[in-house]
Structure 1
């Protein structure tokens, strides 16, 4: 029986998160910044350097927020909390830091079969 603290479950979660990070358009630098500071999707889009440093291609704030929600579900990101509750800003989780240790400087882009598998896992999880 697999318990929540089982190493097998942790390894599967890490593998799933790493695959997602390779399929999403965010760069290694983006996750490094999230380790140091919290960002929101609108704050990210308003940065003058976001397109060249943090993302492989331009995205709207709503699409970035969709990716944030997916990364939160996978355990890579978490919402930041202030005195009034959850905010729209996200930060890197310890699991997200563990994922980054696998790559010293850049996240390798996923192959086409990996991207398809990721898309099915994300959009059609019950198939």
Structure 2
């Protein structure tokens, strides 16, 4: 099943792709405020790591730089984020993809808070990350 395109939307995603990205988003250690910021500008790893990420309202708890890299790498793999590129190559900053923008807009419209993932969703996310298998 393919998601129905909305006016002005260029890309349609398979329902499985949307579901996997949505679960990964809700299992990630980040708040919706981070992704809302990524809509307009890139956010770097140092802004997410440690107490700064919590104070900025981006993370649920202090994260090491390695934890930030791991979490954002998974969100890249499921299609939510992309690494920012500059004239020198890849940077340590991230932005939303069109799929990420679609999901963030969805959650902003239904209350502006990412709901917690269920135990089953966490298990699906863990197994997908571990085995790199689609749901």
One fold, TM greater than 0.5? yes
2:115 aligned partner: 108
Separation of aligned partners in 1, 2:88 and 2:51:
25
Q: Tell me if 1:18 matches 2:22.
A: yes
Q: Tell me if 1:118 matches 2:125.
A: yes
TM-score (ref. length: structure 1)? 0.84
Q: Is the 8 A contact 2:29 2:60 kept in 1?
A: yes
1:34 aligned to which of 31, 38, 44 = 38
Q: What secondary structure, in the 3-state scheme, does the structure 2 residue paired with 1:102 have?
A: helix
For residues 20-99 of structure 1, what are the structure 2 equivalents within 5 Å? 20-45=24-49, 48=52, 50-52=53-55, 53-99=57-103
**In 2 relative to 1, CA 92–47 (structure 1 residues): closer, same or farther, beyond 3 Å?**
farther
Q: Is the 8 A contact 1:41 1:62 kept in 2?
A: no
Q: Which has the higher contact order (CA 8 A, sep 6+)?
A: 1
Q: Is the 8 A contact 2:50 2:62 kept in 1?
A: no
Separation of aligned partners in 1, 2:127 and 2:26:
15
Q: Is the 8 A contact 1:25 1:55 kept in 2?
A: yes
2:7 aligned partner: none
Q: What secondary structure, in the 3-state scheme, does the structure 1 residue paired with 2:26 have?
A: helix
Separation of aligned partners in 2, 1:47 and 1:35:
23
